[in-house]
Amino acid sequence: MLLQEGYAGLAVGLKILNDMAEVHWDCMFPPAKRMRARQTAYVWLAEK
């Protein structure tokens, strides 16, 4: 969304990601018991 809409699109995309994590945290992939794998996904996103 950043490439198409600029920083406003980035804000919307991050809001969607945050809302999904809040609502679906228990059933997201990777499973909650693999917390390091979940953390790695967020670190990857932050480094982009």
How do the pLDDT tens digits run along the chain, 48 residues long? Answer: 788 999 999 999 999 999 999 999 889 888 888 999 989 988 998 887
What ranges do the domains of the chain cover? 2-47
Rounded distance between C-alpha atoms, residue 46 and residue 34, angstroms: 19
pLDDT for the residue 13: 92
pLDDT for the residue 31: 86
Q: How far is CA 19 from the centre of its chain?
A: 9
Strand runs labelled E in the chain = none
**Element containing residue 21 per DSSP (H, E):** helix 7-24
CB distance 2 to 10 below 8 Å: yes
pLDDT for the residue 1: 78
